[in-house]
Amino acid sequence: MPSGQFAVSTSAHMEFVDITTQLQQAIDDSGVSDGLLVVYNPHTTAGITINEGADPAVQSDLIGVFARIIPEDYPYKHREGNSPSHMMTTLTGSSATVFIENGRIRLGTWQRIFFCEYDGPRSRKVWWKILKG
83-105 mean pLDDT: 98
Residues 103, 108, 109: CA angle, nearest 5 degrees? 100
78-98 mean pLDDT: 96
Nearest Cα to Cα of residue 35 among 95, 119, 105: 105
Say how many CA atoms lie within 13 Å of 73 toward its Cβ. Answer: 1
Each domain of the chain, given as residue ranges in start order, spans 3-132
93-120 mean pLDDT: 98
User: pLDDT band for position 133 (50/70/90)?
Assistant: confident
pLDDT (tens digit, 9 = 90+) per residue, 5-35? 999 999 999 999 999 999 999 999 999 999 9
CATH of domain 3-132: 2.60.120.460
Residues 73, 77, 82: CA angle, nearest 5 degrees? 60
